[in-house]
Amino acid sequence: MESRKTRIRPRERDAIIQSLRAGVTPRTGLHHIQVGRAREVEALVRDLDRILDGGSAFRLIIGAYGAGKSFFLQLVRSIALEKGLVTLHGDLSPDRRLYSTGGHARNLYAELTKNLSTRTKPDGNGLPGLVERFLAEARREADAEGTTVKAAISKRLEKISEMVGGYDFASVIEAYWNGYEQGDDRLRADAVRWLRGEFATRTDARNALGVRTIIDDGNVYDSFKILSLFVRQAGYGGLLVNLDEMVNLYKLASSKARLSNYEQILRMLNDCLQGTAGAIGFLLGGTPDFLYDPRKGLYSYEALHSRLTENSFAKAAGVNDYDAPILHLGSLSAEELYVLLGNIRNVYASGDPAKHLVPDEALAAFLAHCSKKIGEAYFRTPRTTIKAFADFLAVLEQNPGIRWTSLIDEIPVEEDRPTDMPEIADEGEEEAPEDGLSSFRI
């Protein structure tokens, strides 16, 4: 097979290898190992272009455990950054969700804003730089029009001030500018804390910044929409919100808590499809159970079920509808998986074909071994196969005297299965009967 010529920096190489051996998605160097998914990537690139044009996008990325959802989300995020979008990314967990009365939604918002990324800050912590860029744009406008910077800030935030929660958001941005002018680092830090949703009480926020509201469980989604307008005012193309591990909502024990979170997803879907949200996109990664389960999945909520019903014509024809809100990650072909293993081999060699640890025959032998052990499942959920191949190369790298042929039959490859997880109890929500859905239906 033809090898790539691009040299890979040691730091990037080590980061990729460590992630692959741990069975998680690398945060850097995705282009060195990406294969397949061409149609899916094309569809998401069209979504990103729509956001850049001031529109909106909503996608559910559905795939089994280990099918590559997290990798795909990270890949799209990296493309978004290159196109000039601002991204938020984070995983849902037992203490992070879209709606709650116990601080869980605010926890999610704080995690997302901590991970806010731009092209110059791809690894997160980009919120201070975002505010600084907005102020730089305001200063340029003030100089051009012969007005004060405060007047320019107020003008640029006029539309945001009219939104729910927007007035205090604008006040916090002005407070950041005051801190900048006065050399008050504490005031600037408090402004960033407010923007990140880190104030737990309104009293603390009023004492620090003079505002009467905070970002809390009840206004997280509204804060996303405010932020999308703000990033446009700062000179970026729009906002992309990546939410992974949506299965944690499916695992909530309380039906009331689940449906309250599903209502937030419905708000996102409606706003994006109706065009009432601008310059924002949502990518939600989840498993088939999270979507299809009629008792606990999104399909248990009538309003979402009707909106997310799949295209029957595409299904009858045996093809995918890449413009639908649901994007299924199909299985990798044998050829694509072969190329993927070759890319991993190339990463271990730092991009130098002369340093490949195994020949092409080893790739074919490894795939044959996987097929014999777990059948066609290794195409559907390649995570375990990739992890095993990375471990295989690690042994050869550390022990040059070992022949690769002696290791093939010793490699333990098992089908990737989800870890058994109990349902997530919600002490702050009262359990509702499973059949009491009528009050939530729209």
- pLDDT of 27 reads 78
- pLDDT of 422 reads 57
Q: Which of 283, 309, 328 is the last residue of a domain?
A: 328
Phi, psi of 403 (to 5 degrees): -85, 140
Q: DSSP code of 333?
A: P
Q: Which of 290, 310, 328 is the last residue of a domain?
A: 328
Q: What is the spatial distance between Cα 172 and Cα 92, in angstroms, rounded to a whole number?
A: 27
- pLDDT of 67 reads 74
Kindly state whether residue 422 falls inside one of the protein's structural domains: no
SS3 at position 219? helix
The verdict on 341 and 409 lying in the same domain is yes
The verdict on 396 and 347 lying in the same domain is yes
The verdict on 226 and 313 lying in the same domain is yes
- Token pair for residue 191? 């402004």
- pLDDT of 208 reads 94
Q: Are 272 and 55 in contact (CB under 8 A)?
A: no
C-alpha distances (whole Å) from 226 to each of 124, 170, 222, 335 are 19, 10, 6, 45
DSSP run (H or E) holding 268: helix 255-274
Kindly state whether residue 442 falls inside one of the protein's structural domains: no
Q: What is the spatial distance between Cα 285 and Cα 347, in angstroms, rounded to a whole number?
A: 27
The verdict on 31 and 57 lying in the same domain is no
Of 381, 297, 413, 399, which is closest to residue 63 (Cα–Cα)? Answer: 381
Residue type, 374: I
C-alpha distances (whole Å) from 276 to each of 232, 264, 267, 415 are 16, 15, 10, 43
- Token pair for residue 265? 């997803």
Residue numbers of the domain that contains 343 = 1-36+332-415
- Annotate 208-219 with b (16+ C-beta within 10 A) or e (fewer): bbebebbbbbeb
Q: How far is CA 211 from the centre of its chain?
A: 31
Kindly state whether residue 424 falls inside one of the protein's structural domains: no
The verdict on 45 and 114 lying in the same domain is yes
The verdict on 102 and 231 lying in the same domain is yes
Q: Are 178 and 187 in contact (CB under 8 A)?
A: yes
Kindly state whether residue 428 falls inside one of the protein's structural domains: no
Domain count across the chain? 3
The verdict on 74 and 145 lying in the same domain is no
Residue with tokens 């799949």: 310
The verdict on 317 and 233 lying in the same domain is yes
* 284 strand-pairing partners: 60, 243
Sheet containing strand 239-244, edge to edge, reads 86-91, 239-244, 280-286, 56-62, 326-328
Predicted TM-score of the model (pTM) = 0.84
The verdict on 73 and 17 lying in the same domain is no
The verdict on 277 and 226 lying in the same domain is yes
Kindly state whether residue 278 falls inside one of the protein's structural domains: yes
C-alpha distances (whole Å) from 204 to each of 183, 212, 374, 377 are 22, 9, 57, 53
Residues of the chain with pLDDT under 70: 1-5, 373-381, 409-442
The verdict on 120 and 243 lying in the same domain is yes
The helix, strand and coil proportions of the chain, stated in percent and rounded to the nearest 5, come to 55, 10, 35
| CATH number, residue 313 | 3.40.50
Kindly state whether residue 385 falls inside one of the protein's structural domains: yes
Kindly state whether residue 171 falls inside one of the protein's structural domains: yes
Kindly state whether residue 167 falls inside one of the protein's structural domains: yes
Q: Which of 217, 237, 253 is the last residue of a domain?
A: 217
- What DSSP string runs through 93-122? BTTB-SS-SSSHHHHHHHHHHHT-B-SS-T
- pLDDT of 367 reads 85
C-alpha distances (whole Å) from 385 to each of 15, 205, 247, 351, 390 are 19, 50, 23, 21, 9
Strand residues in 78-198 grouped as ranges (E):
86-91
The verdict on 105 and 236 lying in the same domain is yes
